[in-house]
Chains A and B, each alone.
Chain A
Amino acid sequence: QVSAALKEGHVTPTELCQRCLSLVKSTKFLNAYITVAEETALKQAEESEKRYKRGQPLGALDGIPVAVKDNFNTAGIETTCASNMLKGYISPYNATVVQKLLDQGAVLLGKTNLDEFAMGSGSTDGVFGPVRNPWSYSRQYKEKSFPKSHSEDKEPNWVITGGSSGGSAAAVSSFTCFAALGSDTGGSTRNPAAHCGVVGLKPTYGLISRHGLIPLVNSMDVPGILTRCVDDAALVLGSLAGHDPKDSTTIQDNFKPFELPSLTDVSKLSIGIPKEYHAPGLSSEILALWSKAADLFKNAGAKVVEVSLPHTRYSIVCYHVLCTAEVASNMARFDGLEYGHRSDMKESTESMYAATRREGFNDVVRGRILSGNYFLLKQNYEKYFIKAQKVRRLIADDFVKVFRSGIDVLLTPTTLSDAAPYMEFIKEDNRTRSAQDDILTQAANMAGLPAINVPTALSERGLPVGLQFIGRSFQEKQLLTVAKWFEQQVQFPTIQLEEVKGHDHGVFHHQKSASFS
């Protein structure tokens, strides 16, 4: 819609950019952005405006303000991964996905906050502090959770965004941008999408280039897309997907961007409900929502079948081994020699390395490096790493079998509950939290499958809850088509934020406020 508005001149790219920038400023307390690239953004907006005046926009993304998670390289703009190790690091090159967005005329507003090096499920463990979920300040949350309080007090019970792409999710959710890039290794795009009430798409591994994405787990990472509606996600996907010679793990096949059909007839669809996703700790609220969603499909004529992915329960442990092993390897390059933080310790090269790495990394990162190195030791390799790879194969095969049996798309919850208050969340450590929260999203990364979170309804506390669809490899079109149908059915409410009210709504996407539940 905003694209159309730009085209028709209802609003100009610079106006749009300025509005978004000022909204970024007024929502600063969310701590969603690490770096705001005001000058360059305005310049890009100006260029875009010139193109629109000439009647030659580059495409639907021309002039659209976007944000990028701070683990993507952006030339000339600081890239920190929310770590002391890369504070002040200015990369000389753009990640392929960033370049593609810029080539389409998108306006890069800034870099968003995350858990340090994308390790975490709360966006609470970065050196720039935690990200606050915009819904913490929504009328819906306040009314439901603190009906009697009149306080202007924003402090006490704000909830987390989820993670690790919390900053991106918050940025999209609070209307500061129209789309944001996140990354997804164990659920890092879908999890915060669910908590922040936005669409979070994890594409098939190998569809979008990882060149320039600072890796966590090379064999599972994908760039993630966060938007306010499924159509937008499809649009962004179309501009990002495709072979990149700089990334040898991208597929060679030609990718054709697609527009989503408006599905009216779901009777030919076969939806799978994996019983193992009824995980311990799943809130009764979400369970009920999941059930309702299944019924929705059933009543519309689709075939809804219970299926089994028996190895799901091993995915967390398996992930732990493989993730930490790759992390230990990927972090080996941070020695303070070529770039990034370097300690003042000068006694010897080794001591400099040790001090640099201790100073540069937080506990979470260091913990994973130590674990990973342990698993990669010669005497442990067979027992842990090889075994984990085999289990990974089993997990992936579970999906293959299910899809082969005729299932088109799987429907599952995305998170175990709605967003936790920050004070509750930090009571447990990062590793515990990750292990708990990743269970519903992790397996899709193991198997490399596409998955998407669609905001479904508000919880009793007035916070967003989403449901997840998992599709077949490289069948994003089908996946998104189903997701779009579902989105239209549930009519998830728009967030009601004070800050946003002050801004003109003519441009922003409005949905009917009738909620699903």
Chain B
Amino acid sequence: WVPVVGLEIHAQISSNSKLFSGSQVQFAAPPNSLVSFFDASLPGTLPVLNRRCVEAAVMTGLALNCSINKKSLFDRKHYFYADLPAGYQITQQRVPIAVNGCLMYSLCIDNKMSQMVTKTVRIKQIQLEQDSGKSLHDDTRSQTLVDLNRAGVGLMEVVMEPDMCCGEEAAAAVRELQLILQTLGSSQAVMAEGQLRVDANVSVHHPGEPYGVRTEVKNINSIRFLAKAVDYEIQRQIEELENGGTILNETRAFDSKLGCTVPMRDKEGKQDYRFMPEPNLPPLILYDAKSLPANMNHQQVINIDWIHERLPELPSVKREKLVEQYGILPEHSFTLLNEDGLAEFFENVVKQTQMKPRKVIGWILNDLLSYLKQHSLTVKESPVSSFLLADLLNLLEKKEISSTAAKQAKLWKGEGKTPLEIVKEQKLELIQDQKELEQICQAVIDGRENEVMEIKAGNRKVLNKLIGLVQRRTQGRSNPVLVKQILEKKLSE
């Protein structure tokens, strides 16, 4: 069976005002407090296009390697629903603003983050459209409550071709898109706040045969659930077909509690949206450096080239740079960019320490990150600043403490003290006195006759046990390399 997965993603544009009206865009405002006359569809009101939304769409299109259509059109998509005051949505059905792009994303082949493979998904198009309001059904009182705050907010619909084959790929693609949108600033893309919504189109077929009937899966509220929903649906379709059943071309909702998809009751039959050109909006004309007319008012036009020149560094480029500049592994660069602020933190530490980046990365990804995760902290909330961490790593580099000591919890709590202060307080410094070390090593050897015999018999691995014992006795304050040398010397005598 070959599963085929395509995605329709709606990203809310990060702008001060809505796509066609001046009312504000804000999450969780009191109901119906951000509604202009146009949003409420008062008769006689007309749409006026928001420049920032167009720029956001152009930026996104460019970042996804699309061709930007210099002329795109707006259409009305008609259907009746309580959260759609005008009885139609203004969208771009005939000629969207951007087409034919692609998105590269990476996955780990196994779960260990040790090997990453890069995949591509084609972007069919990006179109500008209005968001709808929200309706809440109150079944007990047989009423529907309508909040139009969201009605008219600008959306970019990004359509990904069915080039993906499983939940993991879908999730990785969406994650990458999310990062790109956040880097561009064109959308904050936080799924929990409804700024990024994903619908999946899933079908299965036998290799060599034509594509199967597809279902649309909605109500997916996180990237994790996306993977689950897609995989469940693929499984469900395979089972259905293997049992001799057929797949209906329907819309299904993902039930996150049950972990399965169920048919949606709302849609009865196929809707004819009666698309019609939006007569109140002239075609959207964009210019580039070549086609820009000489005397145009700068405020009134959008120059694609100008936007292109000012695109921020995209995640994929950033990752490459990190790998190249610091010699870290590609997998590392992914993790760095996956956490907001982590890459910056890493770079700051590197700047302030003598430790090699390849070593620093371990401390960042293993120690710092796991500490933050354990305590549900973001990088910004880290109790240890990059300065302090750099300090600590310097102590390690100077061999003033051992790496075991460096992992001590107290150091990570920060508490406003420098690592040096904490080390002194906790007496974590490496024992520098050779004689003292020798004494301790001798003491361990003396107490462990069996192990000594085994080592002398040729089992070198047991030496590590002795080293460990020394470490314990010194409470991590011994340099393992040195200890090994001393022990070996003593044992060979």
Residue of B nearest to A374 (CB): B274
Taking CB atoms, residues of chain A closer than 8 Å to B276 are 325-326, 329, 376, 385
Residue of B nearest to A353 (CB): B80
Separation of A325 and B75 alpha carbons in the complex (Å): 13
Does any Cβ of B come within 8 Å of A210's Cβ? yes
A427 CB → nearest B CB, Å: 32
Stretch at the interface among A47-55, A171-179, A241-249, A411-419: A241-249
Interface contact B87-A218, CB-CB below 8 Å:
no
Interface pairs (30), CB distance under 8 Å: A73-B42, A91-B44, A92-B42, A93-B37, A214-B44, A215-B44, A246-B46, A246-B48, A248-B46, A248-B47, A248-B49, A248-B280, A325-B276, A326-B276, A329-B78, A332-B86, A332-B88, A333-B86, A333-B87, A337-B85, A337-B146, A339-B40, A339-B42, A349-B144, A376-B78, A376-B275, A376-B276, A377-B274, A378-B273, A381-B275
B93 CB → nearest A CB, Å: 11
Taking CB atoms, residues of chain B closer than 8 Å to A210 are 46
Does any Cβ of A come within 8 Å of B30's Cβ? no
- Chain B interface residues toward A at CB < 8 A: 37, 40-49, 76, 78, 80, 82, 85-88, 142, 144, 146, 272-276, 279-282, 300
Interface contact B44-A332, CB-CB below 8 Å:
no
Given A245-B48, A248-B49, A338-B85: A328 in contact with B43 (beta carbons within 8 A): no
**Interfacial residues of chain A within 310-333, with CB under 8 A of chain B in the complex:** 325-326, 328-329, 331-333
Separation of A155 and B272 alpha carbons in the complex (Å): 50
Does any Cβ of B come within 8 Å of A373's Cβ? yes
Count the A-B residue pairs with Cβ separation under 8 angstroms: how many?
102
Residue of A nearest to B20 (CB): A248
Using a Cβ–Cβ cut-off of 8 Å, how many residues does chain A contribute to the interface with B? 46
Interface contact A332-B43, CB-CB below 8 Å:
no
Given A325-B276, A349-B82: A248 in contact with B282 (beta carbons within 8 A): yes
Q: Tell which of B49, B86, B142 has the most Cβ of chain A within 10 Å.
A: B86
Residue of B nearest to A209 (CB): B46
B379 CB → nearest A CB, Å: 44
A20 CB → nearest B CB, Å: 26
**Interfacial residues of chain A within 497-517, with CB under 8 A of chain B in the complex:** none
Given A246-B46, A325-B276, 13 further pairs, Cβ under 8 A: A72-B44, A73-B43, A92-B42, A248-B46, A248-B47, A248-B48, A332-B78, A333-B41, A334-B87, A338-B40, A353-B80, A378-B272, A378-B275
Top-4 shortest CB links A-B? A332-B87, A376-B274, A218-B279, A219-B279
Does any Cβ of B come within 8 Å of A211's Cβ? yes
Interface contact A377-B48, CB-CB below 8 Å:
no
Interface contact A373-B274, CB-CB below 8 Å:
yes
Taking CB atoms, residues of chain B closer than 8 Å to A333 are 41, 43, 85-87
Residue of A nearest to B39 (CB): A338
**Bitwise interface map of A from 339 to 353 toward B, beta carbon under 8 Å scored 1, else 0:** 100000010011001
B77 CB → nearest A CB, Å: 10
Separation of A381 and B300 alpha carbons in the complex (Å): 34
- Chain A interface residues toward B at CB < 8 A: 72-73, 79, 81, 86, 91-93, 95, 210-215, 217-219, 245-249, 252, 325-326, 328-329, 331-335, 337-339, 346, 349-350, 353, 373, 376-378, 381, 385
Taking CB atoms, residues of chain B closer than 8 Å to A91 are 42-44
A208 CB → nearest B CB, Å: 13
Taking CB atoms, residues of chain B closer than 8 Å to A213 are 44
Interface contact A211-B44, CB-CB below 8 Å:
yes
Interface contact B88-A329, CB-CB below 8 Å:
yes
Taking CB atoms, residues of chain B closer than 8 Å to A214 are 43-44
Cross-interface CB contact of B41 among A72, A219, A338, cutoff 8 Å: A338
Taking CB atoms, residues of chain A closer than 8 Å to B82 are 337, 349
Taking CB atoms, residues of chain B closer than 8 Å to A248 are 46-49, 280-282
Given A212-B44, A338-B85: A218 in contact with B280 (beta carbons within 8 A): yes
Taking CB atoms, residues of chain B closer than 8 Å to A337 are 82, 85, 146
Residue of A nearest to B21 (CB): A246
B320 CB → nearest A CB, Å: 43
Interface contact A249-B282, CB-CB below 8 Å:
yes
Separation of A373 and B273 alpha carbons in the complex (Å): 10
Given A93-B37, A248-B282: A211 in contact with B46 (beta carbons within 8 A): yes
Separation of A210 and B45 alpha carbons in the complex (Å): 9
Separation of A175 and B40 alpha carbons in the complex (Å): 38
Given A86-B43, A248-B47, A332-B88: A92 in contact with B37 (beta carbons within 8 A): yes
Separation of A331 and B80 alpha carbons in the complex (Å): 11
Cross-interface CB contact of A326 among B44, B46, B275, B279, cutoff 8 Å: B279
Separation of A20 and B412 alpha carbons in the complex (Å): 86
B369 CB → nearest A CB, Å: 50
Residue of B nearest to A338 (CB): B40
Residue of B nearest to A332 (CB): B87
Taking CB atoms, residues of chain B closer than 8 Å to A378 are 272-275
Taking CB atoms, residues of chain A closer than 8 Å to B142 are 346
Taking CB atoms, residues of chain A closer than 8 Å to B280 are 218, 247-249
Separation of A333 and B41 alpha carbons in the complex (Å): 7
A473 CB → nearest B CB, Å: 15
B296 CB → nearest A CB, Å: 10
Residue of B nearest to A210 (CB): B46
Taking CB atoms, residues of chain A closer than 8 Å to B273 are 378
Separation of A212 and B43 alpha carbons in the complex (Å): 7
Taking CB atoms, residues of chain A closer than 8 Å to B45 are 211-212
Residue of B nearest to A117 (CB): B43
Residue of A nearest to B49 (CB): A248
Residue of A nearest to B148 (CB): A338
Q: Tell which of A326, A331, A332, A377 has the most Cβ of chain B within 10 Å.
A: A332
Taking CB atoms, residues of chain A closer than 8 Å to B88 are 329, 332
Separation of A323 and B243 alpha carbons in the complex (Å): 53
B266 CB → nearest A CB, Å: 12
Taking CB atoms, residues of chain A closer than 8 Å to B274 are 328-329, 373, 376-378, 381
Separation of A211 and B279 alpha carbons in the complex (Å): 13
Separation of A94 and B228 alpha carbons in the complex (Å): 53
B50 CB → nearest A CB, Å: 11
Taking CB atoms, residues of chain A closer than 8 Å to B87 are 329, 331-335
Taking CB atoms, residues of chain B closer than 8 Å to A332 are 78, 80, 86-88
Taking CB atoms, residues of chain B closer than 8 Å to A338 are 40-42, 85
A205 CB → nearest B CB, Å: 11
Taking CB atoms, residues of chain A closer than 8 Å to B42 are 73, 91-93, 338-339
Taking CB atoms, residues of chain A closer than 8 Å to B46 are 210-211, 246-249
Separation of A183 and B73 alpha carbons in the complex (Å): 27
Taking CB atoms, residues of chain A closer than 8 Å to B48 are 245-246, 248
Taking CB atoms, residues of chain B closer than 8 Å to A217 are 279
Separation of A247 and B144 alpha carbons in the complex (Å): 33
Residue of B nearest to A340 (CB): B43
Separation of A349 and B82 alpha carbons in the complex (Å): 8
Separation of A334 and B144 alpha carbons in the complex (Å): 18
Taking CB atoms, residues of chain A closer than 8 Å to B49 are 248
Residue of B nearest to A89 (CB): B43
Taking CB atoms, residues of chain B closer than 8 Å to A376 are 78, 274-276
Separation of A86 and B42 alpha carbons in the complex (Å): 11
Residue of A nearest to B87 (CB): A332
Residue of B nearest to A211 (CB): B46
Separation of A248 and B46 alpha carbons in the complex (Å): 8
Separation of A217 and B300 alpha carbons in the complex (Å): 27
Taking CB atoms, residues of chain B closer than 8 Å to A211 are 44-46
Q: Tell which of A325, A334, A335, A346 has the most Cβ of chain B within 10 Å.
A: A335
Q: Tell which of B80, B88, B279, B281 has the most Cβ of chain A within 10 Å.
A: B279
A353 CB → nearest B CB, Å: 6
Taking CB atoms, residues of chain B closer than 8 Å to A72 are 44
Separation of A213 and B406 alpha carbons in the complex (Å): 74
Separation of A252 and B80 alpha carbons in the complex (Å): 35
Separation of A165 and B122 alpha carbons in the complex (Å): 54
Separation of A335 and B78 alpha carbons in the complex (Å): 13
Taking CB atoms, residues of chain B closer than 8 Å to A92 are 37, 42
A485 CB → nearest B CB, Å: 35
A472 CB → nearest B CB, Å: 21
